[in-house]
């Protein structure tokens, strides 16, 4: 640190230089991102929903979403007291939505983490190992890619035991990695052909070193953009699976609220306030992740910039 003070702006040492470069690259990326209107709008929506999710216990105490302690009238349309009306047990829709944001965002992000770890590892490994192992991984990717998502997810959830948030996270995670793996594999193949990897191999670096020190940093921007797009899909999947009744009944997400509404006849009762808002929240959050992802994609891959 002392050397930093002596020559400001010119850090000493390998790690310090790497860190400074990374910071600079991030700053550059952020400046580019700020000029992207769609991306900024998405970020705004996302920050709002994250705040709502974090503050849900403060704004709406847990008893407001408890079925037994509900105070409102059953299936009441929006009023001054309940801004978005009540559900069929008399709970405030607004409170349900705020608590639902916690589940939907948590599941979306956790499932994406699993999917990204599997997808990136499989992608890099299948691009790096040219022999039998790599070919097997590639086949596996192709297979998982073709099998229709929802039937597979339903089957997996049944086997793992439905009705828990963890099951949904695992199911989405292990069914949605194949697209990422294929993308990362293609990028790995292009990185593998570059001279610095040849140099690294000539100096005797092992497979692990090559993959983690050279390939991974180079595919990482792609992983990052793909992550935001995958979160969008994961949240949509969570909504669908919960709608089909696989969610945790004690922790209502937006999808399970829709399931409740549908199963208890909110459609024929014309209770639009019960059905409209949860779906609208899903659309907004998914759209925000998609727009952020598209903005990042343009920064990472300037060839797309003209679109």
Binding site for another protein (CB under 8 A): 139, 142-143, 146-152, 154-156, 158-159, 161-162, 232, 236, 239-240, 243-246, 255, 258, 261-262, 267-268, 270, 272, 275-276, 278-279, 282-283, 286-287, 290-291, 306-307
Residue 193's φ and ψ, nearest 5 degrees, are -80, -5
- Cβ–Cβ under 8 Å, residues 200 and 209: yes
CB of 289 to another protein, least distance (A): 9
CB of 242 to another protein, least distance (A): 10
CB of 157 to another protein, least distance (A): 8
- Please, which residues have CB within 8 angstroms of residue 11's CB and are 6 or more apart in sequence? 3, 4, 17, 19, 20
- Cβ–Cβ under 8 Å, residues 100 and 284: no
- For another protein, give the closer residue by CB, 74 or 159: 159
d(Cα 279, Cα 76) in Å, to the nearest integer? 19
- For another protein, give the closer residue by CB, 191 or 232: 232
CB of 252 to another protein, least distance (A): 15
Closest by Cα among 295, 161, 155, 175 to 237: 175
CB of 59 to another protein, least distance (A): 24
CB of 194 to another protein, least distance (A): 25
- For another protein, give the closer residue by CB, 5 or 268: 268
Kindly tell me the burial class for residue 298, based on how many C-beta atoms sit within 10 Å of its own C-beta (0-12, 13-18, 19 or more).
buried
DSSP 270: T
Q: HSE of 27 in the Cβ direction (CA atoms, 13 Å)?
A: 6
d(Cα 230, Cα 109) in Å, to the nearest integer? 9
> Which helix (H) or strand (E) covers residue 3, if one does?
helix 2-6
- For another protein, give the closer residue by CB, 66 or 158: 158
- For another protein, give the closer residue by CB, 146 or 202: 146
CB of 231 to another protein, least distance (A): 12
Q: Angle at which helices 14-34 and 37-59 pack, to 10 degrees?
A: 100
Q: HSE of 70 in the Cβ direction (CA atoms, 13 Å)?
A: 22
CB of 272 to another protein, least distance (A): 5
- For another protein, give the closer residue by CB, 11 or 276: 276
- For another protein, give the closer residue by CB, 47 or 155: 155
- Cβ–Cβ under 8 Å, residues 219 and 187: yes
d(Cα 49, Cα 56) in Å, to the nearest integer? 10
- For another protein, give the closer residue by CB, 151 or 206: 151
């Amino acid at each position: 640190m002392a050397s930093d003070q002596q020559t400001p702006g010119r850090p000493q040492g390998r790690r310090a230089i790497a860190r400074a470069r990374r910071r600079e690259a991030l700053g550059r990326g952020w400046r580019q991102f700020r000029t992207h209107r769609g991306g900024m709008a998405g970020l705004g929506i996302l920050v709002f929903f994250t705040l709502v999710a974090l503050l849900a216990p403060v704004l709406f105490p847990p008893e407001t979403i408890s079925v037994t302690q509900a105070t409102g009238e059953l299936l009441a349309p929006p009023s001054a007291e309940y801004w978005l009306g009540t559900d069929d047990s008399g709970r405030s829709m607004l409170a349900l939505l705020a608590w639902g944001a916690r589940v939907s965002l948590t599941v979306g992000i956790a499932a994406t983490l699993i999917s990204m770890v599997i997808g990136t590892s499989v992608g890099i490994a299948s691009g790096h190992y040219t022999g039998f192992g790599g070919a097997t991984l590639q086949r596996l990717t192709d297979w998982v890619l073709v099998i229709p998502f929802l039937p597979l997810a339903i089957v997996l959830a049944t086997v793992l035991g439905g009705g828990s948030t963890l099951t949904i996270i695992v199911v989405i995670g292990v069914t949605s990695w194949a697209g990422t793996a294929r993308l990362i594999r293609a990028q790995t193949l292009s990185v593998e052909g570059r001279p610095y990897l040849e140099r690294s191999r000539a100096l005797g670096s092992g497979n692990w070193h090559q993959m983690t020190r050279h390939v991974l940093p180079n595919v990482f921007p792609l992983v990052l953009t793909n992550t935001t797009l995958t979160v969008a899909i994961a949240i949509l999947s969570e909504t669908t699976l919960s709608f089909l009744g696989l969610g945790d009944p004690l922790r209502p997400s937006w999808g399970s609220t829709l399931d409740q509404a549908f199963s208890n006849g909110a459609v024929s009762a014309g209770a639009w306030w019960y059905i409209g808002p949860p779906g609208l929240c899903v659309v907004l959050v998914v759209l925000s992740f998609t727009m952020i992802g598209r903005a990042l994609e343009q920064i990472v891959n300037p060839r797309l910039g003209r679109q």
